[in-house]
Structure 1
Amino acid sequence: MITVSWFGYAPGREGLLTPVIFLPVFGVAVMLERWFPFEPAWNGRWKDNRQDAAFFLLAQPVIAIAEAAAMALGVSAATWLSSAFGILYWPAGWPVSVQVILAMLAHDLLPYWYHRISHETGGWLWRVHAIHHAPSRMYSLNFVRFHPVNSFLSSFLMLLPMVALGVPACVIFLIAMISKVHSLLSHTNFGFRLGPLNWVFSMAELHRWHHTRDMRQANANYGATLIFWDILFGTRNLPEADIRKSELGINEPQSVPSRFCDQICMRISH
């Protein structure tokens, strides 16, 4: 996936290359969670997929608008920083692997705080975000289940610092593909383990605890891709207990309407 993203990238080709890379990964993930489920009870219930598809379709124009806004503001910020201080802030001559690590840290920082604030301060931001946490199971399509406000803010905050710092477009595209695949796999009901890499990535073993109904456990593991900011700010959580012994979802499931239109409209006006 990384190889195809890097060597297949060309300006203007993102719209074609993204599904070529992502769809096969998605298909494999769906098959693996059927064949080797982490929790068999989380499979099935295909009726949820209609809502998931609706969230996915609604998110695409919202994300496009968010990314356009982040690009515009980020380019302005980069231009101002360059003219004000006379230097470029991004080490474009460094090895790509180092650039990817640095860009991923920048990509995750603002969404980490937005995500954490949504959980820990409650109120309107939590009501919007609770739509993502409402399902009582983890499954592949769970990763697209976001209110458009949530989709807009997350996408905007992921892209803005990378553009402002002058990260090359090819590196930004690579980060975007890594992030999309990671988001999918962190929700997939596939029983794989990362071992020591749980200190690097915010993958399924950590993210399942983020979806537990027990908010003492769920208010943790906020990282979008890396777990670095959780480690730094003390919010990484990986208990020894088996997550299957805990209920997933939210404490007040009735607070999230069952109908798609009500979820979109009522969360703002509540």
Structure 2
Amino acid sequence: MAHARSWTAHISALLGLSCLAGVLCFHFPELLTSQAFRQVYTEGFARSLLLGGLVSAFALGTLAILRGRDRRVALTGVGAATLAVLLGGVHIELGSIGQTPWSLGLDWFVVSLFFSALVFVPIERLLGRVPLLPLRPEWRTDLAYFFASHVGVQFILLMVTAWTSGVAALVAFPALSAAIQSLPAWLQFLLAVLCADLAQALAHRTYHRQAWLWRVHAVHHSSRHLDWLAGSRMHLLEILLTRGLVLLPLVLLGFSPGVVNAYVILVGLQAVLAHANLGLRFGWLEYVLVLPRYHHWHHARRADYTDANYAIHLPLVDMLMGTFRLPRDGSWPEEYGVMEAGSVPAGFWRQHLAPFLPRRDG
């Protein structure tokens, strides 16, 4: 019988490797940190977070080693933290940060992973619909998706911005833009959410109905376990398509930059929440906002739900499209995943290549 995994060892490894990544960000800020995200936090905050991570990685890793539990994993955490200290630790000199045409969002990945796990891991442990551990099957695959989408955030934004700006330059509605920007910010935001969700839901339904696009989108539906990390499993091509198609109407209609930025924050938060393993009932609110039970039914491995619940913000959008479905008895899906078992291969790279390879039937 296999021994239970050591939480202290795995947390030590996560923190140790994260600290090593943080130290590399201090050494190469122009190349490894996102210019947009650097404006959100201070150098002092980054150093404090790094110090806390180093101390915790050493303490938890040492404890796991002394207990004889998952020693290789624990040694990974202690070794990575040691290397981070040898490379300068919290005492690295940080000079002026120059401008580069591109950079990776390694800082965005580390901070986002840390705080997402800090919030959702205990919540899902306490309020989870099913007793699902964070180190559940295929967690490494979903962590790879989380890494790729966060580290590559600037490339994604550059391509999406180029696409939307190019179209907006050809098709502009100055009078409509002026009318929309004259509205109060809160009303602009509500209209932006509705417009974006309509665009997203229409694109989403197209992914389900067009054969080749479904092969790309099926990667997202291949998750057999839904939690806060599972929502990250999305083919990078789909990320580009969806973000471009969703932001395009907001740019064309001329919503103010602040409203667009607020929407980008909302979609990131709600995408994580919608996939989370939370067994809470929200009553009438489930018919107003897309919450976990609503979106979990979209992922249900049931033929009668393959064309339902495409919205990511407002169930109203599905009501307008005729695709709203939510059991009134409060039930949840019994199983998740694609209908054709085995049609999506396992692993990050194989899943990215699969849509471009000849499909094997039989």
- TM-score of the pair, normalised by structure 2: 0.64
1:108: how far off? 1.6
Aligned equivalents of 2:348, 2:171: Cα separation in 1: 43
* Matching residue of 2:52: none
Residues 243/255 of structure 1: CA separation in 2 closer, same or farther (3 Å cut): farther
Aligned equivalents of 2:313, 2:329: Cα separation in 1: 23
The structure 1 residue matched to 2:124, chosen from 28, 33, 45, is: 33
**Could you list the per-position Cα deviations for residues 107-152 of structure 1 after superposition, in whole angstroms to 9, with x for gaps in the alignment?**
2222211111112x25111111111111222111011100111111
> Match of 2:337, SS?
coil
Structure of larger gyration radius = 2
* Matching residue of 2:148: 58
- TM-score of the pair, normalised by structure 1: 0.83
Q: Is residue 2:191 matched to residue 1:106? A: no
Could you tell me whether the CA contact under 8 Å between 2:159 and 2:240 is conserved in 1? no
Q: Is residue 2:293 matched to residue 1:205? A: yes
Q: Is residue 2:183 matched to residue 1:160? A: no
Q: Mapping of 1:166-205 within 5 angstroms? A: 166-205=254-293
Quick one: which amino acid aligns to residue 188 of structure 2? Answer: Q
1:69: how far off? 3.7
Q: Mapping of 1:110-129 within 5 angstroms? A: 110-119=199-208, 121-129=209-217
1:223: how far off? 0.8
**Could you list the per-position Cα deviations for residues 163-196 of structure 1 after superposition, in whole angstroms to 9, with x for gaps in the alignment?**
1211111111111111111111111101222222
Aligned equivalents of 1:134, 1:165: Cα separation in 2: 35
* Matching residue of 2:341: 253
> Match of 1:140, SS?
coil
* Matching residue of 1:4: none
Could you tell me whether the CA contact under 8 Å between 1:66 and 1:156 is conserved in 2? no
* Matching residue of 1:6: none
The structure 1 residue matched to 2:227, chosen from 121, 139, 147, is: 139
Residues 97/34 of structure 1: CA separation in 2 closer, same or farther (3 Å cut): same
Could you tell me whether the CA contact under 8 Å between 1:62 and 1:152 is conserved in 2? no
Q: Is residue 2:138 matched to residue 1:48? A: yes
Aligned equivalents of 1:132, 1:194: Cα separation in 2: 25
Quick one: which amino acid aligns to residue 124 of structure 2? Answer: E
1:76: how far off? 4.5
Aligned equivalents of 1:51, 1:244: Cα separation in 2: 25
1:30: how far off? 2.2
Aligned equivalents of 1:241, 1:249: Cα separation in 2: 22
**Structure possessing the higher relative contact order (Cα contacts under 8 Å, 6 or more residues apart):** 1
Aligned equivalents of 2:142, 2:333: Cα separation in 1: 26
Aligned equivalents of 1:22, 1:44: Cα separation in 2: 13
1:93: how far off? 2.3
Quick one: which amino acid aligns to residue 162 of structure 2? Answer: A
Could you tell me whether the CA contact under 8 Å between 2:297 and 2:326 is conserved in 1? yes
> Match of 1:17, SS?
coil
**Worse overlay, 180-189 or 88-97:** 88-97
Residues 266/49 of structure 1: CA separation in 2 closer, same or farther (3 Å cut): same
Residues 149/79 of structure 1: CA separation in 2 closer, same or farther (3 Å cut): closer
> Match of 1:175, SS?
helix
The structure 1 residue matched to 2:325, chosen from 227, 231, 237, is: 237
**Worse overlay, 177-186 or 106-115:** 106-115
Residues 254/267 of structure 1: CA separation in 2 closer, same or farther (3 Å cut): same
The structure 2 residue matched to 1:17, chosen from 40, 44, 68, is: 40
1:200: how far off? 2.1
* Matching residue of 1:87: 175
1:14: how far off? 4.8
Quick one: which amino acid aligns to residue 263 of structure 2? Answer: I
**Could you list the per-position Cα deviations for residues 222-255 of structure 1 after superposition, in whole angstroms to 9, with x for gaps in the alignment?**
0122222211111111013554462211222311
Structure 2: give runs of 5+ residues left out of the alignment: 1-34, 42-107
Structure 1: give runs of 5+ residues left out of the alignment: 1-11
